[in-house]
Amino acid sequence: MNIKGKVILSMLVVSTVIVVFWEYINSPEGSFLWIYPSKNPEVSDSSTQKGWWFPSWFKDGYQEEEEDDIEKGTEKEEEKKDIEDLQLSDWFNPKKRPEVVTVTEWKAPVVWEGTYDTDILERYYAKQKITVGLTVFAVGRYIEHYLEEFITSANKYFMVGHKVIFYIMVDDVSRMPLIELGPLRSFKVFEIKPEKRWQDISMMRMKTIGEHILAHIQHEVDFLFCMDVDQVFQDSFGVETLGQLVAQLQAWWYKADPDKFTYERRKESAAYIPFGQGDFYYHAAIFGGTPSQVLNLTQECFKGILQDKKNDIEAEWHDESHLNKYFLLNKPTKILSPEYCWDYQIGLPSDIKTVKLFWQTKEYNLVRNNV
């Protein structure tokens, strides 16, 4: 073939390619089908033939990426299956502690020392590469009295071996203590508006936690705990505590009859719980779960607080009263024994095997503006 013929043939080939390309990008399916022709179930067999030659063009590009994505997706599905296959009975044995309540009427576990298998749980959560958040509020003199010891002990005992983000809420950032954290630990400090009464600080934290979950926390962590600052960790507070919605038994009331609980008993309050109702008395010093569950909890509790303010009433134990009402209506999926939040002023009964975290001495006359 002479040179002129080759030029004409080349021009015809290029023209054909351009025409097909132009028709394709202007088709109803657009460029989506150009890369993923099999994605659209409405395309007939004849129409898909328009793209039959594209795979060879993209062998080193989109097609291989798609194959890699499929392989990765398969791996994730297998990993997800491994995770979903873990049953409560695989890691939790309620018979190990027959002297205490280990299962609720709604079949939720009550986690006591000796009832869980740490090795199985660690392998389970290691596959997920989880991040756990922990919110804590320190306002006024609570900063100097409690914050450093709380964070230092949490750094040592809270979710060891897993990524942790401490969300520290203070009313004066300049008074934040300098704390060196270990591997996988980080913290974010936020300045919050000071309140005149400690009761308002306690209740407003529900609003603040909810706002931060919506703004950023929900995108940063897999699980979230909210704790009071006047506590100290002294033993492992680990992945056995993680769950969808986690409640903490109050140390002084875990053996008491429900009718003796200090629930809010006035009908005018949104936190009202009548006699004859109630499962346990829960401590607001610790609660947690997934970000979505904690968000719902904080929003509902704050709604109750606002309703009470509107009706000129304040629940007996403030946010804790509303928390107990919430858990009455929305049963926690996991409950932590008093070992996870103990008060040494009670002593050390035989059923408290290992204290994970304990209350600091309550020096209200020093840290509160109004007692």
264 is known as an active-site residue: no
Residue type, 212: H
Q: Could you tell me the two tokens for 311?
A: 């009706």
Give the 3-state secondary structure percentages of the chain, helix then strand then coil, rounded to 5: 45, 15, 35
Q: How far apart are CA 300 and CA 282, in angstroms?
A: 16
| Angle at 305 (CA atoms; ends 328, 335), nearest 5 degrees | 30
Q: Which of 29, 113, 264, 320 is catalytic?
A: 320
End-to-end CA distance of the chain: 103
DSSP secondary structure of 278-297:
-S-PEEEEEEEE-HHHHHHH
284 with 216: CB under 8 angstroms?
no
* Cα–Cα nearest to 208, from 223, 194, 222: 194
Q: How far is CA 40 from CA 24, 35, 55, 309, in A?
A: 15, 11, 16, 56
Start-end of H helices in 192-290: 198-212, 218-220
97 phi, psi to nearest 5 deg: -130, 70
Provide the token pair at 32: 């989506």
Which tokens go with 344?
A: 């040494």
The CA radius of gyration of the chain, in Å to the nearest whole number, is 29
Asked whether 227 and 135 are in contact (CB, 8 A), the reply is yes
Q: What is the DSSP letter of 158?
A: B
Q: Spell out where 177-328 has E strands.
A: 185-191, 223-227, 231-233, 245-249, 282-289
How far apart CA 120 and CA 279 sit, in angstroms, is 30
CB 142 within 8 Å of CB 362: no
Q: What residues are labeled active site?
A: 320
